[in-house]
Amino acid sequence: MKQGKCKLCEKEGELQESHLLPAAVYRMCRSENEEIADPVGILNDPKIKAFRVYQSSRQITGQVLCHSCEQTLNSDGEDWVLPNLSTLQGFPLFEKLKKIKPEIAEEDLAVYACTKVPEIRTDALAHFAIGVFWKAGVYDWQTGRGPLRLEFGSYTEEMRKFLLGVGAFPLHAYLIINVVPPSYPTISAYLPCPSKAFEFPFYSFYVPGVEFMLTLGEATPNFLRAFCISTNSQRPVMSSPSTAQFIGKRFAEAFESGHVPKKLAGRLQEIRAKKN
């Protein structure tokens, strides 16, 4: 550990080895039977202009926070969120949602009002999500495939104050949460990233069973604002297989284009043959 200024409290002290995504998420994504022990990931590789599958046990870390601020992120968000994520044994967050009828129910979309489920800590979900997004914007995270750092402008400081409990949820920021039904098990994760598909700033990351999406600015359309878990008084949470379908499609594209390490492709084929 080294001495330096903590990015969150901005005090000088001993910095911890902080994770961009919690270490527990990496453990969730590891194979229990160790046929493919290290997590399998996917990224959009600009060099080949296509999606590429890779396998790595590397955890994205950096000396960012002091011990006290690490504990703040743990106690205010991670300690509740992580045990409620999806695993092969169950999905506690989804089971809590299913206790009530959705406010909106369509073929591939349900929207639940979490105010009707007091045991769902929407404050922890918001704190966890903003904590991950904020960390992605204050440090050059070394991923092994180039640095990762998002640009949030003035929102970075508003996020910091919110995480410390000395400021409100950032104005004109909208946090949307999608819970993937366990019938579409996607025990994987992807790092915070921007999207160029919209005319306003849009970012997302995924941990097992839950996608967190963040839009910034007054250009955010009203239909997205309505789904914000922090500004809508009903504290809505979506449930849709769209995230799982998106991830599955990208994996399929990578396999079809041949952008998969030969050793990994062979192992996956062996496992598929066993199941069949």
Taking only the tens place, the pLDDT of each residue in 64-90 is: 999 999 999 999 999 999 999 998 889
pLDDT score at 28:
83
Q: Where are the domains of the chain?
A: 2-275
Q: Between residues 180 and 271, which one has the greater pLDDT?
A: 180
Ordered DSSP codes for the chain: -EEEE-TTT--EEEEEEEESS-HHHHHHTS-TT-TT-SPEEEEEETTTTEEEEEE-----EEEEEEHHHHHHHIIIIIHHHGGGS-BTTB-HHHHHHTTS--SEEETTEEEEEGGG-TTS-HHHHHHHHHHHHHHHTSS-EE-SSSEE----TTHHHHHHHHHHTSSPSPTTEEEEEEEPPTTS-----EEEEE-SSSSS-EEEEEETTEEEEEEESTTS-HHHHTT-TTTSTT-EEEE-THHHHHHHHHHHHHHHHT-S-HHHHHHHHHHHHHH-
Report, as an integer, the average pLDDT of 37-47.
62
Note if the pTM is more than 0.85. yes
Q: Is the pLDDT of residue 269 over 60?
A: no
Q: Between residues 108 and 235, which one has the greater pLDDT?
A: 235
Query: How high does pLDDT run on average in the chain?
Result: 86
Q: Is the pLDDT of residue 119 over 90?
A: yes
**pLDDT confidence bin for 203, thresholds 50/70/90:** very high
